[in-house]
Amino acid sequence: MDTLKKNWSARACVALTMLATSSALHAQDAATNKPAIVVLGDSLSAEYGLPRDTGWVNLLRQRLAKERLDYSVANSSISGDTTSGGRARLTAVLTRIKPAVVVVELGANDALRGVPLATTETNLRGIVEASQAAHAKVLLIGMYVPPNYGPDYSQKFHAIYERIAKDKNVALVPFLLAGIENKPTMFQSDQIHPTVQAQPLLLENVWPSLKPLLGASAS
């Protein structure tokens, strides 16, 4: 994508690979009397480098309360996680929480680690299919990879999300970082992870695709 520039530099790619090993916010069990939204993600959803409860997932909880949508939110995001890791732990998450909606925010670390595109697509399809088999609606959050991989690779990577969303008839957020990708002040010192100030913008990217899933799930 031509809008991804300096903040997704080769230096930052290495930084993400090294820094994303810290533990993330652990999954929070959903209240048994509410339908649950599970966010299955990586450091972009796990509040990496942020004060506790300031990430976009916690802001989602506040938005739900403000709009009187009676859902709980379980953040099952782990910094540094890949689609393989997310797929491996999904069964336990589905069994324990029984979510109404699964938000899938994974894939960036696959590219940074050189995981073959076919493997990433297979894992994401597996996550979507398992979630649907558990009677959960799915929201897939797309990503672009840094430009040093080349525009052809970047487009092929992003096309995975579009293809799966179409094939599996699931909602899609085209790009979680849309609108901040060219704003260095919206990123932490590694120029990869968004700041506290950027988190409301991330939620605004997710909300329009997520909200239409909630009424049907609640009913």
What domains appear along the chain, each with residue ranges and CATH number? 6-214 (3.40.50.1110)
pTM for the complete prediction?
Answer: 0.86
Provide the mean pLDDT of the chain. 87
> How sure is the predictor about 206, in pLDDT bands with cuts at 50, 70 and 90?
very high
Encode pLDDT of 166-187 as tens digits: 999 999 999 999 999 999 999 9
Is residue 109 scored above 70 in pLDDT? yes
Encode pLDDT of 30-84 as tens digits: 445 899 999 999 999 999 999 999 999 999 999 999 999 999 999 999 999 999 9
Query: Do residues 127 and 63 lie in contact, with contact meaning Cβ atoms separated by under 8 Å?
Result: no
For residue 9, indicate whether it is catalytic. Answer: no
Closest CA to 106 of 82, 122, 127: 82
Give the other-Cβ count within 10 Å of 14's Cβ: 13
Q: Which of 42, 43, 76, 131 is catalytic?
A: 43
- Residue-level pLDDT at 218: 41
Distance (Å, whole) CA 119 – CA 191: 27
Distance (Å, whole) CA 64 – CA 183: 28
Q: Which of 45, 81, 84, 193 is catalytic?
A: 193
Query: Do residues 113 and 82 lie in contact, with contact meaning Cβ atoms separated by under 8 Å?
Result: yes
Angle, alpha carbons 149-188-19 (nearest 5°)? 65
